[in-house]
Amino acid sequence: MIRRWFIRFMTGRYGGDQLNLFLIGLYLLLYVVFLFSRLLIFQLLGTVVLLVSLFRSLSRSLDRRRAENARFLQIVRPIKRRWTAFRARTQDREHRYFKCPNCGQQMRVPRGKGRITVHCRSCGAVFEEKS
């Protein structure tokens, strides 16, 4: 009964997306900081963030909320890509990563081969690198 009421209530409303998840995570972070610092500003900021998230979830202007989420993803996507590449590089023990001195392209060579000649696929530069 409550479930049907909630489904009817949410019909035509925006609901959740990645930006809302980020806002809820930010609220939790601000709340934890408030618990440790007891500064009222963190509780106030957390409450504002939570209200914005609630407003976005219950909003009926779907196009605006989708545009906001798209802008958020545009900002977050390069950061997420860099973080994923950084984690892959730090966990890869079989290769050594470096940049091409000519064009700056990220490259990798097998570890433990000594000095090797490397050909950049991007600009065609040839140089020696120690692996």
| pLDDT for the residue 15 | 92
| pLDDT for the residue 69 | 97
Q: Is residue 72 a contact partner of residue 22, using CB atoms and an 8 Å limit?
A: yes
| pLDDT for the residue 128 | 85
Q: How far apart are CA 30 and CA 46, in angstroms?
A: 5
Cα 82 from chain centre: 9
| pLDDT for the residue 25 | 97
| pLDDT for the residue 107 | 87
Low-confidence residues of the chain: pLDDT under 70: none
| pLDDT for the residue 88 | 86
Q: How far apart are CA 4 and CA 119, in angstroms?
A: 63
| pLDDT for the residue 16 | 93
| pLDDT for the residue 112 | 85
| pLDDT for the residue 51 | 98
Instruction: Name the nearest CA neighbour of 119 among 129, 85, 89, 96.
Output: 129
